[in-house]
Amino acid sequence: MLAIAAAIVFGIAFLLDLLNASIGIGLTALIALGLCLLALHQAGIGTASVSSYRGNWRRARR
């Protein structure tokens, strides 16, 4: 999920750079935000393993 958010942030930064537009926040700040989101994704923050939920559900049902 965080990787998708990072891709969106990078896409917005890229479009703003192409159009020479500004939204009140610098391109450097957008790139830094995207990199922070990618770092969190790589660290495993915000991701849940579906198999762990299934395993807990099966144990609870028995």
Domain spans of the chain? Answer: 2-61
The reported pLDDT for the residue numbered 45 is: 87
d(CA 18, CA 33): 19
- pLDDT given for residue 53 in this prediction: 54
Phi-psi region of 17 (alpha: psi -120 to 50; beta: other; left: phi over 0): alpha
The whole-number pLDDT of residue 62 equals 55
Q: Is the pTM of this model over 0.85?
A: no
Extract the residue ranges of the chain whose pLDDT is less than 50.
none
